Structure 1
Amino acid sequence: MTDSTETSRDYRETLFLPKTDFPMRANLPKREPDWIAHWNAINLYQKQRAAENAKGPWTLHDGPPYANGHIHMGTALNKILKDIINRSHQMLGHDANYVPGWDCHGLPIEWKVEEEFRGKGRQKDDVPGAEFRARCREYAAQWLDTQREEFKRLGVIGDWDNPYKTMNFQSEADICGELLKIAATGQLYRGSKPIMWSPVEQTALAEAEVEYQDKRATQIYVKFPVRAGLEDASVVIWTTTPWTIPANRAVSFSSVIKYGLYEVTEMEESEFEPWSKPGDKLIAADDLWPAVAKAGLIKSANRLQDVDASTLVLDHPLKDMEGADGKYDFPVPLLEGSHVTADAGTGFVHTAPSHGEDDYVVWISNQTKLEGLGIDPIVPMTLDNAGCYTDVMPTRFQGLDVIRTSGKKRGQDGKANGEVLKALVECGNLLARGIMMLRDAHSWRSKAPVIRRATPQWFISMSKDGLREKALKAIDETKFWPDRGRNRIGTMVADRPDWLISRQRNWGVPITLIVGPNGELHTERDDADAINARILAKVEEIGVDGWFDTPLEHFMPEDNAGWEKVTDILDVWFDSGSTHAFCLKRREDLPDRADLYLEGSDQHRGWFQSSLMESCAIYGEAPYKGVLTHGFVVDEKGLKMSKSLGNTMSPEDISKQFGAEIMRIWTASSDWANDLKIGKEIIQTSADAYRKLRNTLRYMIGALDGFDASETVDYADMPALEKWVLHRLSEITDAHEGLVRDHDHKRIFSTLFNFCTVDLSAFYFDIRKDALYCDPLDSTRRRACRTVMNEIFLRLTTWLAPIMSFTMEEVWQARFPSDDSSVHLELFRSCPDEWENRALAAQVESIRDFRTATQEAIEPSRKEGIIRSSLEASVTGPSNPELLKALSALNISRQEVYANPADPQDTLADYLIISDVTLSEKAESFTVEDLKGKSLYRKCERSWKYFQGDGDITPRDKAAVMAFDN
């Protein structure tokens, strides 16, 4: 060390350290609402619409959430993902106009309003329809406003002042108009085939409204006595719905199944007397006889002969019951059905055409045979809306409920099953009974079981006018993310039945049809256009009440004798399936077709499909060009979230504790194609990632303090390290647009996060801190670094803006403060062609590999406390041809001393952040020497580098101090 007694100067004032007021702590829960207020104050949505959008419109059409209840993590994920995608396309140069929407009609709202009226002592039937619907409208509006504010709190930008709502009068009129267009083409018809019916909700349900759950069910084997063909014998059937036996009208069989007549010879010993006995003659499929015998406690039997099922006619098993009233005296025919198999049961299928689709098809397909046997082919309406037996049944059964519709036992078996079993025993026609678990249809709203019930309903035909083929063609022409969605929706459309669109409720869009005395529709009349115009005008004027409360004569003033208005309402899926008509096609600021529909994966059978069906039925094409589906939100263990498990998280709680920004990072960094896990640890991981990114940007703001264009260094004059950074920016830019268009924000986020933490913080910034703090202000290296940092800043903030919308606004305003600007009005920047330099990048990687090896060699000395800073180290390492070639090509000196201290050029020691380095061809490994106390070295009091020479600071630092003092 020097012997000089000269008092050293405090050089801290001469260092060019980063300066910024940008806070290290984000305080997101408090600051985020301020940025929302800023966006509102500058009218960001309208500014985006007014911007020059060279690439034209790009539209994500919002799938409408239901206006009922607070948002949850699933809806938050959905809206955030949409916002990230919209903001990204806006910054690509499109007009990404986002119009949010809401689904406002339907049963859940109707139920809540019913509860309100019951709480005031008024039953639904006592409330005038107009008053009831008005309250439903108010209820939906209240929740819509609540959800709107909750979505805006997530940072979602859109036309919140003018959203679309299915309950807007104009929307209701447009929905009616879409229905009338379909009716005019003949694709709409009225039928009475069995459909899914919820006794609890007292309405028809579409397949999309049904879920399947395990349920305990009573299974029974029933004997149908042979009326003609084999007297004293009985055909045996098996069913898990005893209550459908009173509705039986036939038994189905298969011509490919071999049937036999079996005479019982011996019964099993049992605690109770079996319902069969020796001498009974039973008919069943040979392959299934062992199972039938076991169920009936039959120990042995003799097979007497083959049976030709087609020759038999049966009696109803309840024909002779007490109180039958002669209503089961009709013959029960054997009808061949393709649905009959020998996989389970008896090989015969009990057929109740009012309660099963296969049963219905078999029944109507044999109309001639039925009439020949003197059987009325009309399908009987055996249950009412509440799921109770009608007067079609004997008095004994009338009014009995199939499913309990109220009370603590709601959804459990009603009285019908028990009474039917009792009657079968009385008649001697119950062979066996038991309990089994099966997957049964339940309403996704009430969670109660649903039944199949034949009622008059309205359907859109899948075959009429080629709707199925149009839909399948449209699917082929649609882009899907992930691609497996194509097969999923395609299979559903290929196999789906006709679309059941009618519901028997109050709060919904009416089926605005007038039916004539012979079942004809008013859309078939010559004056149909005039009638339609009156209907639509009235609905547009006062909403759905315009149909319900306006006399028929207003719509059809002439030739109206025998004509009646339909009182059913539309399936809410028809409402939401029509959103493209009253949002996209009606608004002048939107295209007719959307570029993207985005919802959860369950919407392949819901909104995606109803929109596809509705649009193809009228316009012959899908309303979308692309469909993206995301998974469901589950907890950290992959379990479904539920209050009972205590594993739920709410968007509101996360916003209050961490900030909505952390949810946005979680959304962007998750794989939306599969179920998305969330929990405290996962949210904390997103918060940690946020802090690292914030620190990177904060450092750049400070390092760029006072930067202006006069400092800019031309690309040709830049050091190799800066050129390498610009090459990395070029690489990311090239990949970025493709990732945006592919909606792969997980890769975007991981790419940018790794760029910040690995390429910048751990490498580039780490190396350039010395130049930024200690080089003369006007050195080429320092100015080039700031020039490149500015380029990084301009790109990184815009790349991250769609994801970290709040923080990037804060970062942008910290450098470019303005009361009337926003980072969200910026566009993604392109890169000059010259920035791409793969050869240079490969050479820098060679040096980077050597740097990593050097750091690993130094680390043991650091851990042992021999050195505290890498600047205290002198390293000797093995040279290699690739490294030497890279140093030469990049003009990086192997000497530690700068040739021109006033304008330093990079040395290998600068890259390694050490004070001395020696490359040796003889060295096989690294050796590290501590420079502290070495007589030839002294520590620079300004940069802390160890150097050989006179004075207390290096020549480079002397030049910097001289420039500072002058």
Structure 2
Amino acid sequence: MLKIQPKILELLGENLLHHSVITHSYPHCWRTHEPVLYRATTQWFILMDEPFLQPDGSKKTLRQVALEAIEAVEFYPKQGKNRLKAMIEQRPDWCVSRQRSWGVPMAFFVDKESQEPLFEPAILEHIKGIFSQKGCNAWWEAKTADLLPQDLKHLAPKLEKNPHILDVWFDSGSTFKAVCEERLKLYPSGLVLEGSDQHRGWFQSSLLLSCIAHSKAPFKAVLTHGFTVDEKGHKMSKSKGNVISLEHILNTYGSDILRLWVVLNDYQNDLSVSDAFFKQTADSYKKIRNTLRFLLANIADLESLSPLNPLDEWILAQSAQVFNQVQAHFQGYDFVKGLQKLLAFIANELSGIYMDICKDSLYCDGKNSPKRRGIQTAMLHLAHQLSFTLAPILTYTIEEVFSHASSLFKEVALSGTSVFDLKEPTLHPNEALLEEFKAPLHLRTLFSEALDCLKKDKQVKTSLELEIHLKEPDDFKHYAEWLMVSSVCAKQDNALLDTPAFTLYKAKAHKCPRCWQFTSHSALEPCARCAKVLEHA
């Protein structure tokens, strides 16, 4: 603008009446950073401290009503409540008029002589009907007489249109009326979410307008989030060349990994965006995907649900505890803690223990053995629980799960045909069983440490080369399976490793070429279990 002004003045020549330069420090345009001048003009305000009638017959100011309404709203994070309250306590009257040639008109007439507004209900209803048919541009396009009802057209010569438009925050703040009240019939809304800057904007404008209309907030909960920045924490801009486009992320990683990245990070603060962060998220995604693939592959031939074995009951009791905790975190919008608990369960109890233990039975027991069918049944329940929990985040992945799922899994998990028809899974809580497994879990930890030592010393390659003697045996009957050793034995000589809890020995039997356990009577011959399975194959 400064560059063109001299040329404009030159063109005006003798027609220019006056020109002077005013030096001032405030205000400046936020977009062009050029100085601007205030112009005094008539404005319209919503008064914050003018009492008005409430539904209970009392009179309160808008400020009082808004502050009371805030108390009934949940905030995530909680400090958002104090921030919004402070802004309402300190804010001046709301100037709702603007002087522009575009926007939503403040559609009422004023008297030409007195400039008093005319709020005749019949006129306002008539204008509302015109707007509903032709849109708000009718205010600018139609003549005054055409905007008046038939019996009041004689007032046209005395009236003029109010030339102001509404503040855009009035527009956005009134969206609850159109969307929640009239279209969805869900007022107040359960949750609104936006950036933390909207305490000063949309959250506040919608709160005030709802308090004017209904004396309560238009939402039950408010969630605020940070903004995306580059890996150094700097605001992304094209001029800096540090922008990572959404299109690049979607084309490279897909939308499921993008959503997973969001919920694995503290969205309440600014989120750093870089390819390195998405590669880390992709690793977590692969772990989830491979777990689901393993579960689906191993329940493919399951035709009906079967009774569970003790280890199956334990993993389902463990999953019930974890999934309840995850859902509680999700309900409080604490997705980071929820996903961390879920990923820890997948890596430790599910993959690290249960799935690893079950491979022997899944691959080597008879196809229809009760033990194998029990494991498959537990895995079906686990796949259902994972699908239900992850569907809101990894929607396309879970949709893909059901495109490859068995008919039994679909029957159990779906009420329809798509991921949106997922049934809530049945959990199998069992606190007593979890308590019983504390001792086996502790022993497994000690055994894993001992096994690592033997592997480092190159005395064994796998746990199946070992037999174990328990110095203080308990009622748990599945230690060979639980620790993945070839057998639980009596005390012997020639120990490989002696600890206060157990003694480890080199297995004396031969290695079964089918299941790899050291339980065969002679080399290159299957063990008794495998021989029986092969006989009936």
CA 944–475 in structure 1, closer or farther in 2 if over 3 Å, else same: same
Whole-angstrom distance in 1 between the partners of 2:374 and 2:252: 41
Number of the residue aligned with 1:909: 480
Please tell me whether residue 785 in structure 1 is matched to residue 375 in structure 2: yes
Whole-angstrom distance in 2 between the partners of 1:695 and 1:640: 36
Whole-angstrom distance in 2 between the partners of 1:947 and 1:619: 77
CA 797–873 in structure 1, closer or farther in 2 if over 3 Å, else same: same
Please tell me whether residue 738 in structure 1 is matched to residue 309 in structure 2: no
Q: CA deviation at 1:497?
A: 0.8
Please tell me whether residue 773 in structure 1 is matched to residue 367 in structure 2: no
CA 447–768 in structure 1, closer or farther in 2 if over 3 Å, else same: farther
Please tell me whether residue 665 in structure 1 is matched to residue 241 in structure 2: no
Amino acid in structure 1 at the alignment position of 2:441: R
Amino acid in structure 1 at the alignment position of 2:434: A
Number of the residue aligned with 2:249: 654
Whole-angstrom distance in 2 between the partners of 1:461 and 1:908: 75
Number of the residue aligned with 2:271: 676
1:553 corresponds, among 113, 134, 145, to 145
Please tell me whether residue 596 in structure 1 is matched to residue 168 in structure 2: no
Of stretches 578-587 and 485-494 in structure 1, the one that deviates more from structure 2 is 578-587
Higher helix proportion (structure 1 or 2) = 2
State TM-score, norm by structure 1: 0.49
State TM-score, norm by structure 2: 0.86
Q: CA deviation at 1:596?
A: 0.8
Amino acid in structure 2 at the alignment position of 1:538: I
| Maintained 8 Å contact 2:108/2:124 | no
CA 654–591 in structure 1, closer or farther in 2 if over 3 Å, else same: same
Q: Kindly provide the CA deviation profile for residues 148-177 of structure 1, in whole angstroms up to 9, marking residues without a partner as x.
A: xxxxxxxxxxxxxxxxxxxxxxxxxxxxxx
Number of the residue aligned with 1:708: 303
Whole-angstrom distance in 2 between the partners of 1:473 and 1:664: 36
| Maintained 8 Å contact 1:601/1:631 | yes
Q: CA deviation at 1:848?
A: 1.9
Whole-angstrom distance in 2 between the partners of 1:960 and 1:867: 28
Q: CA deviation at 1:816?
A: 4.6
Q: Kindly provide the CA deviation profile for residues 846-888 of structure 1, in whole angstroms up to 9, marking residues without a partner as x.
A: 2122212222222233345443322223455x645xxx33xx0
CA 447–778 in structure 1, closer or farther in 2 if over 3 Å, else same: farther
Please tell me whether residue 519 in structure 1 is matched to residue 115 in structure 2: yes
Q: Kindly provide the CA deviation profile for residues 396-436 of structure 1, in whole angstroms up to 9, marking residues without a partner as x.
A: 99554xxxxxxxxxxxxxx3119xxxxxxxxxxxxxxxxxx
Amino acid in structure 2 at the alignment position of 1:739: H
Amino acid in structure 2 at the alignment position of 1:567: P
- Secondary structure of the equivalent of 2:464? helix
Whole-angstrom distance in 2 between the partners of 1:484 and 1:519: 45
- Secondary structure of the equivalent of 2:461? coil
Amino acid in structure 2 at the alignment position of 1:826: L
- Secondary structure of the equivalent of 2:193? strand
- Secondary structure of the equivalent of 2:437? helix
Number of the residue aligned with 2:462: 869
- Secondary structure of the equivalent of 1:480? strand
| Maintained 8 Å contact 1:721/1:844 | no
Please tell me whether residue 608 in structure 1 is matched to residue 194 in structure 2: no
Q: CA deviation at 1:705?
A: 1.4
What do you get for the CA RMSD once the two structures are aligned? Answer: 2.7
Number of the residue aligned with 2:8: none
Q: CA deviation at 1:687?
A: 0.4
Q: CA deviation at 1:641?
A: 1.8
Q: Structure 2: which 5+ runs fail to align?
A: 3-15, 53-60, 493-497
Whole-angstrom distance in 1 between the partners of 2:288 and 2:334: 20
- Greater length-normalized contact order (CA 8 Å, ≥ 6 residues apart): 1
CA 446–504 in structure 1, closer or farther in 2 if over 3 Å, else same: farther
2:313 corresponds, among 723, 728, 734, to 723
Please tell me whether residue 638 in structure 1 is matched to residue 267 in structure 2: no
Q: Structure 1: which 5+ runs fail to align?
A: 1-198, 201-395, 401-414, 419-437, 893-906
Q: CA deviation at 1:501?
A: 1.4
Q: CA deviation at 1:458?
A: 1.6
Number of the residue aligned with 1:941: 513
Whole-angstrom distance in 2 between the partners of 1:730 and 1:655: 34
Please tell me whether residue 576 in structure 1 is matched to residue 172 in structure 2: yes
Amino acid in structure 1 at the alignment position of 2:383: F
Higher strand proportion (structure 1 or 2) = 1
Map 1:71-220; keep pairs closer than 5 Å.
Answer: none
1:492 corresponds, among 87, 91, 94, to 87
Whole-angstrom distance in 1 between the partners of 2:18 and 2:505: 100
1:416 corresponds, among 16, 19, 22, to 22
CA 827–399 in structure 1, closer or farther in 2 if over 3 Å, else same: farther
Amino acid in structure 1 at the alignment position of 2:357: I
Whole-angstrom distance in 2 between the partners of 1:553 and 1:642: 51
Please tell me whether residue 471 in structure 1 is matched to residue 56 in structure 2: no
Please tell me whether residue 540 in structure 1 is matched to residue 132 in structure 2: yes
1:565 corresponds, among 161, 185, 188, to 161
Map 1:45-84; keep pairs closer than 5 Å.
Answer: none
Number of residue-to-residue matches in the alignment: 498
Q: Kindly provide the CA deviation profile for residues 24-71 of structure 1, in whole angstroms up to 9, marking residues without a partner as x.
A: xxxxxxxxxxxxxxxxxxxxxxxxxxxxxxxxxxxxxxxxxxxxxxxx
Amino acid in structure 2 at the alignment position of 1:620: S
Whole-angstrom distance in 2 between the partners of 1:761 and 1:708: 24
Amino acid in structure 2 at the alignment position of 1:944: W
Percent identity over the alignment is 35
Amino acid in structure 1 at the alignment position of 2:438: E
Amino acid in structure 2 at the alignment position of 1:945: Q
Amino acid in structure 1 at the alignment position of 2:174: S
Whole-angstrom distance in 1 between the partners of 2:128 and 2:368: 74
Number of the residue aligned with 2:56: none
CA 780–857 in structure 1, closer or farther in 2 if over 3 Å, else same: same
Number of the residue aligned with 1:953: 526
Amino acid in structure 2 at the alignment position of 1:908: Y
| Maintained 8 Å contact 1:857/1:927 | no
Q: CA deviation at 1:748?
A: 2.5
| Maintained 8 Å contact 2:314/2:433 | yes
Q: CA deviation at 1:963?
A: 2.6
- Secondary structure of the equivalent of 2:223? strand
| Maintained 8 Å contact 1:857/1:926 | no
Amino acid in structure 2 at the alignment position of 1:417: T
Whole-angstrom distance in 2 between the partners of 1:397 and 1:494: 48
Q: CA deviation at 1:652?
A: 0.8
Q: Kindly provide the CA deviation profile for residues 811-860 of structure 1, in whole angstroms up to 9, marking residues without a partner as x.
A: 122115799710221132233xxx32223212323212221222222223
Q: CA deviation at 1:733?
A: 4.1
1:924 corresponds, among 484, 488, 500, to 500
| Maintained 8 Å contact 2:302/2:373 | no
Map 1:6-25; keep pairs closer than 5 Å.
Answer: none
| Maintained 8 Å contact 1:940/1:953 | yes
Q: CA deviation at 1:620?
A: 1.5
CA 691–941 in structure 1, closer or farther in 2 if over 3 Å, else same: same
| Maintained 8 Å contact 1:875/1:918 | yes
Q: Kindly provide the CA deviation profile for residues 65-94 of structure 1, in whole angstroms up to 9, marking residues without a partner as x.
A: xxxxxxxxxxxxxxxxxxxxxxxxxxxxxx
Q: Kindly provide the CA deviation profile for residues 543-568 of structure 1, in whole angstroms up to 9, marking residues without a partner as x.
A: 22200011112234123444221122
1:759 corresponds, among 340, 349, 352, to 349
Whole-angstrom distance in 1 between the partners of 2:450 and 2:208: 67
Q: CA deviation at 1:928?
A: 5.1
- Secondary structure of the equivalent of 1:947? coil
Whole-angstrom distance in 1 between the partners of 2:426 and 2:467: 42
Number of the residue aligned with 2:102: 507
2:399 corresponds, among 801, 809, 829, to 809
CA 826–504 in structure 1, closer or farther in 2 if over 3 Å, else same: same
Whole-angstrom distance in 2 between the partners of 1:622 and 1:777: 60
CA 616–398 in structure 1, closer or farther in 2 if over 3 Å, else same: farther
Whole-angstrom distance in 2 between the partners of 1:496 and 1:584: 27
| Maintained 8 Å contact 1:879/1:919 | no
Whole-angstrom distance in 1 between the partners of 2:491 and 2:207: 71
Amino acid in structure 1 at the alignment position of 2:485: I
Number of the residue aligned with 1:374: none
| Maintained 8 Å contact 1:799/1:828 | no
Number of the residue aligned with 1:822: 418
Whole-angstrom distance in 2 between the partners of 1:449 and 1:608: 30
